[in-house]
Amino acid sequence: MINRIRDVRKEKGMTLAEVGAACDPPTTAQTIGRLETGMRNLSLDWMNRIAAALRVEPETLLRGNDSAQPQIVARLTESGPEALPNPRDAILPTQLDAGARLVCVTIDAAQGEYRAGDQLWLRQVDPEEAPKIVNRDVLVPRSGGRFAFGRLIDRQGTLVGLLPPGAGQRQVVVDKPQWLAVAEMLVRRL
């Protein structure tokens, strides 16, 4: 059994010591680290304590080997979207359908209506669905493992046109994208 304690903890922006202190009764950062890495068995009691400390459901901390986990695939920076060198597991908001093909983009620099620290959840769709999602924000894969992000403003044949969210940025055109991912949910920390 593989646990997701580290993924959830990092998504929550907490250190090992903060999780240990939030447990009831409190424990050490070393103990939390050993549970994360599997050096110590994750019992039901520990799973419930850590889940309460992270304010998630206990089953969120578990992952089966065969489950298709949504991934954070890119981050939006001042210069535009950047692919992550190693996509990482994302914590699925409870309002989203776990059966959908989902990806997540973290916002590192404010652009348009997005603020630094936001998470944007997107649902993958086939390029043929582009006419249905015109005027929605989309993530589009490009060659070389890169991405384009912006408002879908046009589709002509195999070309899709995007208007990036940053001020003064030029339209981006992508030919024959493998898929499009349309924005479904914005998660913003308070």
pTM given for the model: 0.59
Question: Residue 62: is its pLDDT beyond 80?
Answer: no
Indicate the SS3 state at residue 140: strand
Question: Residue 91: is its pLDDT beyond 50?
Answer: yes
Q: Are residues 140 and 171 in the same domain?
A: yes
- Choose among 127, 142, 69: nearest CA to 101: 69
Q: Per-residue pLDDT averaged across 128-153, rounded? A: 90
Residue pLDDT, tens place only, 25-45: 999 999 999 998 888 888 889
Q: Give the pLDDT score at 10.
A: 86
Q: Are residues 87 and 108 in the same domain?
A: yes
| Contact call for residues 121 and 187 (beta carbons, < 8 A) | yes
- Beta strand 80-89 pairing with 71-77: antiparallel
Q: Please say which residue of 63, 88, 104 terminates a domain.
A: 63
Cα-flanking dihedrals φ and ψ of residue 73, to 5°? -105, -20
Question: Residue 160: is its pLDDT beyond 70?
Answer: yes
Residues 121, 113: Cα–Cα separation, whole Å: 15
Q: Give the pLDDT score at 68.
A: 59
Supply 9's token pair.
Answer: 């903890």
With a CB cutoff of 8 Å and minimum separation 6, the contacts of 21 are: none
Return the CATH number at 106: 2.10.109.10
Q: Per-residue pLDDT averaged across 112-140, rounded? A: 90
Please spell the DSSP secondary structure of 68-100, one letter per residue.
---EEEEEEETTEEEEEEEEEE-PPPTTS-TTS
- Tell me which of 159 and 79 has the higher pLDDT: 159
Residue 9 is part of which domain span? 2-63
